Amino acid sequence: MAMIIESVPNISEGKNKDIIEACVDQIRTTAGCTLLQYTSDPSHNRTVITYMGSAEACEEASVKLAKKAVELIDLTKHVGEHPRMGCVDVMPFIPIKEATTEDCVELSKRVGERIAKEADLPVFLYEQSASAAHRENLASIRKGQFEGMAEKVKAEQWIPDFGGQRIHPTGGVVAVGARPPLIAFNINLSTSDLTVANNIAKIIRRSSGGFDCVKAMGVMLEERNIAQVSINMTDFTKTPLYRVVELVKAEAARYGVHVVGTEIVGLCPMNALFDTAEYYLQIEDFNPAVQVIENHLL
């Protein structure tokens, strides 16, 4: 059976449809690569693209995407709520079928080296591909963002893995690596007070003593005039969606605020939704493999 790998790069453009489509076209036109979804957020000024295919197909699509992004996206003019350090900000590879973490690590290193050479974008390896422990966490690499990165890479511990001790003047730097499946999950609040979202994010994220495998920050959705808790869940088997939602509801209530909606960005594992349905419906002895009709049709 053929190896299948997923990639979910984030590009730093969420408003200009022509630029977004030109970047997504790099995936559409790569043989052996299937575009699954892309989602743009104008407030974040960011687009998440999801595709999968063989290692070779993902490699070609990813390099093409980086070359097009650096051609069209100028971070000196970029404004958005989401932190960013590169025109392609992050490019993860995830093993899906007949693929291992090691396969994705090797792929990330090939792609990183090619992006540095062919797109002239310096590359940091992160997560399971990281060359040092302090580079595993994307937030640690991205701290300082594009505006502070030229100074940051002067330090010995922050020299990019590929591309030299520099940044691209308009494209910045890129993080490339292998990681497990991640759920990008946003919770919107009935307030325009960003402090509330920041305080809730601090309570739920692991780095501040919150839930395991949860990263979170507060952002402002200017076009809707509401605050959002933006969350990355790196292992839903350790911390499920419903547990995060319930704590956010409880903490929001302390400020007289409630949840007005949630959002899954990109794709998520089916079992993450089954877990949540089982919790809220209080289903006893639920077995999705047996009791879900569609599972008998796959």
Residues classed as catalytic: 82
Contact 21, 35 (CB under 8 A): no
Write out the two tokens for 59. Answer: 């490699």
State the pairing for strand pair 46-53/226-233: unpaired
Contact 80, 60 (CB under 8 A): no
CA distance 31 to 15: 28
Tell me 76's DSSP state: G
Contact 199, 251 (CB under 8 A): yes
Q: Which residues 6+ apart lie within 8 Å of 175 measured at CB?
A: 85, 86, 89, 90, 91, 123, 124, 125, 126, 138, 141, 142
CA distance 72 to 18: 10
